[in-house]
Amino acid sequence: MSQVCFICSKPLAESEIVAVERGFKTLIDSSIERNDGYVEYLKDKQSMTIHVQYRKMYTRKTSIAVAKRQREMRVSTSSSSPTRTRARSGEPIYAPNSLGKILTGHAYARAVRAHTLFHLTLATIISKELVIDDDMDANLQNTIEDVKNDTISYNDIENCDEKTEALLYQCNKKLKQYEGRGSTTNLWIQYFHVVSIAKQFIRAGRMGDFSSSSELR
């Protein structure tokens, strides 16, 4: 005889148990409805000793319905995809019904803009945790002005100076730290990298230069 009740995983006590034989199929059917994985454990057996009170709870229809709802909620929470999360985040910007098509690429131009906005938002969040001194800030402001005035090339930006290299090192280090904060955060960082590569691909296509970035080779 098993030493624990398979339903509650608690030790069996003689005064609280019942040997289920005639109603054993009901236990199996309840396990199938609950989708709790016990059906494989039960199917090769002819009887099972369990706690009396848990037998009633396990086979009661209302209890099964509650268990199914709880399981569906857990699945919905754990498998919530980045696309759905991004859709909720983007609803203040785009119409909710159009976000699904935008984020899966059906509307290409709008998809590029939507993913770029999410990428910018993530970059803004990450940048708030970077340590930027006055010299680094001044260097950034000068680079931004050069970009606005079209007085600096993409290659000039890539061949950056020590201050920009230090900032880039900080950013990459911070991304690594975020990756270790949990599965959801890790998915967002993966998304950040994917959009970064997509933006490089788009830029390379417009400039006709696919050799400028190692990720595209």
Please write the tens of the pLDDT for every residue from 76-134: 555 445 555 555 555 555 555 556 666 666 677 778 888 888 899 999 988 888 888 88
Alpha-helical runs (H) found in the chain: 24-34, 39-42, 52-59, 61-78, 82-90, 96-103, 108-127, 134-148, 154-158, 162-179, 183-207
What Cα–Cα distance (Å) separates residue 215 from each residue in 183, 194, 197? 24, 10, 7
> For residue 192, what pLDDT is reported?
92
Tell me how crowded residue 167 is: count the other CB atoms within 10 A of its CB.
Answer: 20
Does the predicted model carry a pTM greater than 0.85? no
Give residue-wise pLDDT tens across range 152-205. 776 676 666 777 788 888 888 989 988 888 888 888 899 899 898 888 888 888
Q: What is the mean pLDDT of the chain?
A: 77
Question: Which pLDDT band holds residue 1 (cuts at 50, 70, 90)?
Answer: very low
Question: Which pLDDT band holds residue 40 (cuts at 50, 70, 90)?
Answer: confident
Tell me the C-alpha distance between 158 and 175, whole Å: 19
> For residue 150, what pLDDT is reported?
78
Q: What angle do CA 97, 99, 101 make, to 5 degrees?
A: 95
- 64-74: average pLDDT: 75
Which amino acid would we find at residue 15? S
Give residue-wise pLDDT tens across range 134-167. 888 888 888 888 878 877 776 676 666 777 788 8
